[in-house]
Amino acid sequence: MRNTIMTIPIPTALVGLGLYWLFKNSSEGSLATLRSDGNVSSPWRKPEDDYTPQEEPVKEKLQNAKDMVEGHLTEWKDQAKQQAYEWKKETEQKMDNVKGYITEKGTVARGEFTQLMDTYPLAVGAGMVALGVAVAAAIPVSRKEDQWMGPSREKMVESVKTTVRSTAEDVTRKAGTIAEKVWQNKENPAS
């Protein structure tokens, strides 16, 4: 035994300490009756063994607090859902109003344009041609267009400009003549 202690002293010391601890605790076995009073504590005691009747109100208060927090969270969640639902409905209503407004204005504009076309077809046609020429003149010439059209492009542009100018002058002259006739008819309804 002496040789064993000398060759492995640390494990032997730990085994000895463990045996001492077991012996000491087994002698406290006679004090087990005192443990029920809470006078002697043991390293093997469980937390449930330390339960006292005063802890019941604390547990109850903790449960009540937990239930109250859960109730508030549920209430806030329901309120958030309700608010989101109301915002969604309000947004849908506003979108429907905007769609209705756009549809109404589009219908009115279409009606006004149709009336303008019926009343002044030449003026509207000349205006459309002038708008087309303006857009075409505003767009820069591309290389492909130069390759395809070459010098004939300039001739075509000049031809269109001349045609538009003469058409606009004709429309202006005819519109002036019609306006004079209308004006004369208003002044002299009998003639």
Report the C-alpha gap between 179 and 142 in whole angstroms: 44
**In this structure, which long-range contacts are made by residues 108-115, counting pairs with CB atoms below 8 Å and at least 24 apart in sequence?**
none
Which tens digits make up the pLDDT trace of 16-48? Answer: 877 887 777 765 554 444 444 444 455 555 555
Which tens digits make up the pLDDT trace of 43-87? Answer: 555 555 555 555 677 778 788 888 888 888 888 889 889 999 999
Which tens digits make up the pLDDT trace of 127-158? Answer: 787 777 777 777 777 777 767 776 776 777 77
What pTM was estimated for this model as a whole? Answer: 0.32
| For the chain, domain boundaries | 78-119, 121-184
